[in-house]
């Protein structure tokens, strides 16, 4: 009985909290934990006093950052825990928050998943901690991803401005020009596949992350999110631009039917069967470790454009560090996040191979002039940095993007294996996302 | 005499009732541990699932009691029913094939005319010892049209076999894996049942001039009817619970295998991707009931024929 009562009370409490949250969104009042003013002095005092914090993250470069941070602040102990990678960690975090037990002080959350946590106020608004002064520190893509109105829910850790990786050896062999627009891309796909039926311009079996990124680049803004009001619509002009071109690649069977991150995929990248890869700037480390045998074959080029002469790009992947609301040591936690994502930790992480979200590092000579032996000595960071500066604004993900992505292939996937047009597949995805949103209590319009 | 007998009788009944009293407590003592464990590991999870299925936990709005709403939704859920239809089709095609092969092998072993009987028996049974996950990964590799066995055959003979992982064929491919895994297991059930048939029956049949085929239809098959019914029920449950194979093949055939491919896979998606634990519990309960009904009907039919 008491358990039941407690559950009931908990339920009522949650409803109240959400109601409060909703009013906080609409009005200007403050809801306790978030928006609290914490001065730099408070943070310094907390660092002097010491204590211990728990950090949930899977990003490997943080290990060294933790060591350096503890050296600088001997009284602070940082407990770095790998609670699983992306989806697994989100489930664990969601459960910890629901149980109000074992919630970490800091958690790594990818940009596309942050909305799910900020919406329910499960992460702390950092604007009162001094994060509001960091707007110029980060490049616009990642900064917009952690910001919602005047609230800042995390500090960007890395980013994934998109570029086109291409196998120069293959392009040279068949004397095909490297495409700069998507129309040229389709042409190149035809030429390469005609020259050798085993060669495909790229592999694609339907990948939610890549599709949304290319829609983003094409100017489509399928998701509009305002608190619990969500609008989902894949029929804007940008989406039509994307489906028109991509439909050609599908219809003419110019896409290799190999799913990303499988053995076949790595083999295809290595032996030249897959000629290009459009993805985030975090990819090079994966090339070095996963496609060793093709070292020197690959180069980096700007992402092909929808309109000739444009420079539009988008983000693909990337993550941030956030402070769960139920975490205890907020001052110390923020001190760590700031150190790792805006302070000295950034340099440490760059050395470890991470791709920065900070403008200063993106523009520094040392970073831009780094030569990549894997790409034949190319200064690839120049291309990535330029891409980072040209990420289209106004994009947002759904507050339940993790789930939406998991059902992407149920609807859009049909376009890849049957006669269903891509646009119809996207409509199907839209319907399923709308249905789920309504079931979860959102006000969804189309 | 009668006056003497009465007290004795009363005494006996009193003692008997005392004994019965003590006996009933002793009985509980023996049954207790079982009942406790049974309640904890069998009844409690079911009760908890039913409890869960009466609520709805939303991202916005929190946890609310919704009565039988989830059940109503499940009964009208196209995704759920498409999964049920799929495993139903699987059941109708794969189970007869698998049990037919198993029966054939068991009869062949039992006929005593097989050379290298033990080796044959072991090698048929061996796939059952391979974990389903490993078996599926192995088959998935063979199914590969690019670098797998199918791809190698295509290259070596210059043919182009259809892709076993395409939407039209993937269910058949899964059926093939499951058949490979479970023929040995079912064969063993049939073989064990065949071994206990008294040899005198065969001798009598021989004297009557019955051939092997007649012996099979008139003696062996009726004698192992119970085993056939059991194997069928196990297979029905196995088909309805299909999960390992589709979930492992999903990364290789992301567009052929949807997240609602089988009812079990659907509950998994609902629960682990969608955080819809309540609805997931409901779907699982409904599927459990369907399985029970089908299994029960098969059992009734199988047993009635036997009588």
List of chain A residues whose C-beta atoms are within 8 Å of the C-beta of residue B251: 259, 262
Q: Which residue has the higher pLDDT, B13 or A328?
A: A328
Q: Cβ separation of A417 and B147 shorter than 8 Å?
A: no
pLDDT digits (tens, 9 = 90+) for A262-288: 888 999 999 999 999 999 998 988 898
Owner of token pair 């006093």: A49
pTM (predicted TM-score): 0.83
Residue B269 lies in a domain: yes
Which of A409, A415, A431 is most worth mutating to test chain B (most B CB atoms within 10 A of its CB)? A409
Answer yes or no: is B110 within a domain. Answer: yes
Which helix (H) or strand (E) is A107 found in, with range? strand A106-110
Give yes or no for residue A17 having a pLDDT over 70. Answer: no
Cβ–Cβ below 8 Å for B260 and A410: yes
Q: What string of H, E and C letters represents the secondary structure of B157-223? A: HCCCCCCCCCCCCHHHHHHHHHHHHHHHHHHHHHHHHHHCCCHHHHHHHHHCCCCHHHHHHHHHHHH
Residues A368 and A356: their CA atoms lie apart, in Å, by: 12
The predicted structure's pLDDT at residue B73: 94
pLDDT at A25: 34
> What percent of chain A has pLDDT above 90?
68
Q: How far is A264 from chain B (nearest CA, A)?
A: 7
Q: Assign residue A422 a region: left if phi > 0, alpha if psi is -120 to 50, beta otherwise?
A: alpha
| Per-residue confidence (pLDDT) for residue B274, from 0 to 100 | 83
- Alpha-carbon span B105 to A241, nearest angstrom: 59
CA distance A104 to chain B (A): 20
Distance CA B103, CA B118 (A): 17
Contact status of B212 with chain A (Cβ, < 8 Å): no
A444 has pLDDT over 70: yes
Across the interface, whether the CB atoms of A15 and B275 are under 8 A apart is answered no
Return d(Cα B218, Cα A393) in angstroms, integer.
79
Pick A15's closest partner by Cβ from B59, B61, B144: B61
Q: How confident is the model at residue A255 (pLDDT cuts 50, 70, 90)?
A: very high
Q: What are phi and psi of B58, to 5 degrees?
A: -105, 155
Does A362 have pLDDT greater than 60?
yes
- Partners of B78 on chain A (C-beta within 8 Å) are none
Residue among B60, B260, B273 minimizing CB distance to A403:
B273
> The domain containing residue B121 runs over which residues?
77-306
Question: ∠ at Cα B261 (B256, B262), nearest 5°?
Answer: 150
pLDDT at position B27, please?
82
Distance CA A234, CA A404 (A): 14
Residue B97 confidence (pLDDT): 97
End-to-end CA distance of chain B: 54
Q: For A250-278, b where at least 16 C-beta lie within 10 A, e where not — what string? A: beeebbbbbbbebebbbbbbbbbbbbbbb
Contacts of B60 in chain A (CB under 8 A): 18, 228, 440-442
Yes or no, beta carbons of B61 and A441 under 8 Å apart = yes
Tell me which residue has tokens 């062999």: A173
Encode pLDDT of A99-153 as tens digits. Answer: 888 999 999 999 999 988 888 889 999 999 989 899 899 988 899 889 888 899 9
When CB atoms are compared, the residue of B61, B62, B274 closest to A403 is: B274
Is the Cβ of A399 closer than 8 Å to some Cβ of chain B? yes
Indicate the DSSP class of residue A372.
B
Instruction: Determine, for residues B274 and A258 on separate chains, whether the beta-carbon distance falls below 8 Å.
Output: no
**Which of B275, B278, B279 should we substitute to test contact with A (largest number of A Cβ atoms within 10 Å)?**
B275
- The confidence band for B272, taking pLDDT boundaries of 50, 70 and 90, is confident
Interface test with B, best of A22, A259, A399, A419 (most B CBs within 10 A): A259
Give the pLDDT of residue A121.
85
pLDDT tens, position by position, A51-79: 999 999 998 889 999 999 999 999 999 99
Q: Is A442 left (phi over 0), alpha (psi -120 to 50) or beta?
A: beta
Q: Is B254 in contact with A414 (Cβ distance < 8 A)?
A: no
d(CA A44, CA A24): 29
Q: A-B interface: how many C-beta pairs under 8 angstroms?
A: 76
Output the CA–CA distances (angstroms, integers) from residue B15 to A312, A395, B4, B18, B124, in the order listed. Answer: 97, 86, 18, 5, 61
Check residue A33 and give its pLDDT.
46
Tens-place pLDDT, residues B207-242: 999 888 999 999 999 999 999 999 999 999 999 999
Nearest CA in chain A to B73: A439
Q: By the 8 A CB rule, do A218 and A242 touch?
A: yes
| Residue B177 scores a pLDDT above 80 | yes
CB A274 within 8 A of CB A264: no
What mean pLDDT comes out for the span A338-354? 89
Chain A 158-197, CB below 8 Å of chain B: which residues? none
> From the CB of residue B86, how many other CB atoms can be counted at a distance below 10 Å?
20
Selected for mutation to probe chain A from B48, B57, B60, B70 (highest A CB count within 10 Å) is B60
Q: In chain B, which ranges are E strands?
A: 55-58, 62-65
* Owner of token pair 């008491």: A2
Residues of A in contact with B247 (CB under 8 A): none
Detail the DSSP E strand segments found in A121-259. Answer: 147-148, 151-152, 155-156, 162-167, 202-203, 223-226, 229-232, 255-256
Mean pLDDT along residues A256-266: 87
Contact of A219 with A306, CB cutoff 8 Å: yes
**What is the pLDDT, as a whole number, of residue A35?**
54
Tell me, what's the pLDDT at B305? Answer: 55
C-beta of residue A316 within 8 angstroms of C-beta of residue A158: no
Rounded to a whole number of angstroms, the CA Rg of chain A reads 23
Q: State residue A37's pLDDT score.
A: 79
Kind and range of the H or E run holding A319 = strand A319-322
pLDDT of B83 over the 50 cut: yes
Residues of chain A by 3-state class (helix, strand, coil), percent to 5: 50, 15, 35
- Evaluate whether residue B32 is within a structural domain: no
| Smallest CA–CA distance from B146 into chain A, residue | A264
* A7 vs B contacts (CB less than 8 Å): 63
A372 neighbors A355 (Cβ within 8 angstroms): no
Report CA-CA distances (Å) from B212 to A277, B108, B147, B197. 65, 11, 47, 15
Nearest to A321 by CA among A123, A41, A46: A123
Nearest CA in chain A to B268: A406
Largest CA distance in chain B: 106
Chain A residue with CA closest to B279: the answer is A439
Q: 3-state DSSP call for residue A134?
A: helix
Tell me the chain A residues in contact with residue B166 when contact means C-beta distances shorter than 8 Å: 417
CB A318 within 8 A of CB A357: yes
> Would the pLDDT of B6 be above 90?
no
Confidence of residue B282 (pLDDT cuts 50, 70, 90): very high
Averaged pLDDT score across all residues of chain A: 88
Q: Average pLDDT, stretch B166-180?
A: 95
Band of residue A12 on the pLDDT scale cut at 50, 70, 90: very low
Q: Which helix or strand (DSSP H or E) is residue A52 part of?
A: strand A51-56
Of B251, B254, B269, the CB nearest to A413: B254
Q: Assess contact for A78 and A50: CB atoms under 8 A.
A: no
Instruction: Let me know if residue B33 belongs to a domain.
Output: no
- Could you give all domains of chain A from N- to C-terminal order, each with its CATH number? 35-159+319-359 (3.40.190.10), 163-314+373-445 (3.40.190.10)
Residue B5, number of CB atoms within 10 A of its CB: 9
Contact A119 B61 (CB under 8 A): no
Name chain B contacts of A116, Cβ cutoff 8 Å: 59
Alpha helices (H) along A318-400: 330-341, 345-351, 359-363, 365-368, 380-389
Residue A332 CA, distance from chain mean position: 26
**Cβ contacts (< 8 Å) between B58 and chain A: which residues?**
439-441
Residue A378 makes CB contacts below 8 A (sequence gap 6+) with A299, A300, A371, A372
Give the residue from chain A lying closest to B258, CA to CA.
A410
Say if B50 falls within a structural domain: no
As a whole number of angstroms, the distance between CA B263 and CA B271 comes to 12
Report the pLDDT averaged over residues A381-403: 92
Answer yes or no: is B44 within a domain.
Answer: no
Decide if A53 contacts A76 (C-beta within 8 A).
yes
pLDDT at A16 over 60: no
| Chain B partners within 8 Å of A120 (Cβ) | 59
Average pLDDT, chain B: 89
Please indicate, yes or no, if residue B47 is contained in any of the structural domains. no
Given CA atoms A58, A64, A65, A67 in this order, what sign does their dihedral have? positive
Tell me whether residue B89 is in a domain: yes
B271/B266 Cα distance (integer angstroms)? 9
pLDDT at residue A7, as a whole number: 46
* Helix residue spans in A132-196 (DSSP H): 140-146, 168-173, 182-195
Alpha-carbon distance A332 to nearest alpha carbon in chain B (angstroms):
29
Handedness of CA A107, A109, A113, A119 (dihedral sign): positive
Whether the pLDDT of residue B21 is over 70: the answer is no
The pLDDT value recorded for residue B160 is 85
What's the half-sphere exposure (Cβ side, CA atoms, 13 Å) at A303?
A: 33
Query: Under an 8 A CB cutoff, do B166 and A417 touch?
Result: yes
- Substitution target in A200, A271, A417 with the highest count of B β-carbons within 10 Å is A417
- Other beta carbons less than 10 A from residue A411's beta carbon: 22
Tell me the two tokens of residue B236.
């029905």
DSSP secondary structure code for residue A103 in this structure = -
Q: What pLDDT is recorded for position A88?
A: 81
ipTM of the assembly? 0.80
Residue by residue, DSSP assigns A204-261 as -S--HHHHHHHHHHTT---EEEETTEEEE---SHHHHHHHHHHHHHHHTT-EE---TT
Q: Using CA atoms of B119, B122, B126, B128 in order, give the dihedral in degrees to the nearest 10.
A: 150
Q: What is the CATH number of the domain that holds B199?
A: 1.10.3720.10
CB contact under 8 A, B59 and A120: yes
Partners of B64 on chain A (C-beta within 8 Å) are 11
Task: Please say if the pLDDT value at position A200 is more than 90.
Answer: yes
Which residue in chain A has the smallest CA separation from B148? Answer: A264
Domain count, chain B: 1
List pLDDT tens digits, range A79-93. 999 988 787 888 889
Is the pLDDT at B86 greater than 90? The verdict is yes
Cα–chain-centroid distance for residue B6? Answer: 61
- CB-based contact B60 A442, cutoff 8 Å: yes
Tokens of B299: 């059992």
């Amino acid at each position: 009985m008491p358990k039941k009562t407690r559950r009931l009370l908990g339920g009522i409490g949650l409803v109240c909290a959400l109601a409060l949250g909703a009013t906080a969104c609409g009005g200007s009042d403050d809801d306790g934990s978030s928006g609290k003013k914490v001065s730099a002095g408070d943070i310094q005092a907390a660092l002097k006093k010491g204590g211990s914090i728990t950090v949930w993250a899977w990003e490997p470069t943080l290990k060294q950052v933790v060591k350096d941070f503890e050296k600088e602040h001997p009284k602070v102990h940082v407990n770095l825990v790998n609670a699983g990678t992306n989806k697994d960690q989100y489930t664990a975090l969601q459960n910890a928050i629901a149980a109000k037990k074992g919630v970490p002080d800091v958690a790594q959350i990818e940009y596309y998943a942050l909305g799910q946590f900020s919406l329910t106020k499960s992460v702390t608004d950092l604007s009162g901690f001094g994060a509001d002064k960091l707007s110029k520190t980060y490049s616009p893509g990642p900064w917009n991803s952690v910001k919602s109105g005047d609230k800042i829910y995390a500090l960007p850790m890395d980013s994934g401005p998109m570029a086109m990786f291409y196998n120069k050896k293959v392009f040279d062999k068949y004397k095909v020009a490297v495409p700069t627009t998507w129309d040229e891309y389709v042409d190149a796909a035809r030429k390469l596949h005609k020259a050798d039926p085993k060669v495909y311009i790229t592999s694609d079996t339907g990948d939610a992350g890549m599709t949304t990124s290319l829609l983003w680049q094409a100017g489509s803004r399928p998701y509009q999110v305002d608190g619990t009001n969500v609008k989902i619509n894949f029929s804007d002009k940008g989406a039509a631009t994307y489906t028109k071109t991509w439909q050609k690649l599908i219809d003419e069977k110019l896409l290799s039917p190999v799913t990303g991150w499988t053995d076949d995929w790595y083999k295809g990248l290595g032996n030249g069967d897959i000629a290009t890869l459009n993805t985030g700037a975090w990819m090079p480390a994966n090339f070095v470790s996963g496609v060793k045998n093709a070292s020197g074959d690959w180069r980096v080029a700007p992402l092909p454009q929808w309109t000739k002469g444009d420079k539009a790009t988008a983000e693909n992947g990337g993550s941030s560090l956030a402070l769960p609301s139920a975490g205890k040591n907020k001052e110390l936690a923020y001190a760590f996040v700031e150190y790792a994502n805006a302070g000295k930790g950034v340099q440490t992480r760059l050395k470890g191979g991470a791709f920065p979200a900070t403008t200063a590092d993106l523009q520094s000579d040392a970073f831009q002039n780094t030569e990549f032996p894997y790409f034949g000595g190319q200064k690839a960071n120049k291309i990535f940095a330029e891409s980072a500066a040209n990420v289209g604004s106004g994009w947002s993900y759904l507050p339940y993007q993790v789930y939406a992505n998991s059902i992407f292939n149920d609807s859009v996937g049909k376009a890849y294996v049957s006669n269903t047009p891509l646009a119809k597949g996207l409509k199907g995805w839209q319907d399923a996302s709308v249905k789920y949103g309504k079931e979860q209590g959102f006000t969804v319009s189309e | 005499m009668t006056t003497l007998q009465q007290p004795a009788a009363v005494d006996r009944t009193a003692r008997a009732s005392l004994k019965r009293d003590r006996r009933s407590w002793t009985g509980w003592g023996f049954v207790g541990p079982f009942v406790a464990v049974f309640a904890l590991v069998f009844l409690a999870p079911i009760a908890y699932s039913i409890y869960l299925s009466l609520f709805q936990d939303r991202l916005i709005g929190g946890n609310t009691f919704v009565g039988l709403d989830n059940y109503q939704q499940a009964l009208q859920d196209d995704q759920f029913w498409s999964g049920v239809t799929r495993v139903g089709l699987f059941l109708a095609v794969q189970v007869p094939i698998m049990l037919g092969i198993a029966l054939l092998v068991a009869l062949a072993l039992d006929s005593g005319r097989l050379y290298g009987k033990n080796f044959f028996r072991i090698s048929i049974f061996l796939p059952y010892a391979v974990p389903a996950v490993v078996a599926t990964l192995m088959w998935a590799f063979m199914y590969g049209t690019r670098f797998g066995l199918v791809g190698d055959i295509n290259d070596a003979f210059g043919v182009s076999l259809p892709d076993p992982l395409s939407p039209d064929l993937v269910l058949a491919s899964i059926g093939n894996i499951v058949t490979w895994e479970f023929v040995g297991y079912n064969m063993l059930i049939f073989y064990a049942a065949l071994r206990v048939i008294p040899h005198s029956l065969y001798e009598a049949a021989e004297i009557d001039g019955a051939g092997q085929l007649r012996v099979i239809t008139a003696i062996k098959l009726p004698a192992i009817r119970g085993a056939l019914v059991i194997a069928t029920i196990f297979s029905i449950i196995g088909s309805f619970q299909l999960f390992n194979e589709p979930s492992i093949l999903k990364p290789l055939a992301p567009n052929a295998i949807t997240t609602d491919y089988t009812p079990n896979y659907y509950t998994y998606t609902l629960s682990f991707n969608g955080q819809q634990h309540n609805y997931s519990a409901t779907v699982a309960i409904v599927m459990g009931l369907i399985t029970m009904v089908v299994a029960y009907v098969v059992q009734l039919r199988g047993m009635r024929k036997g009588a």
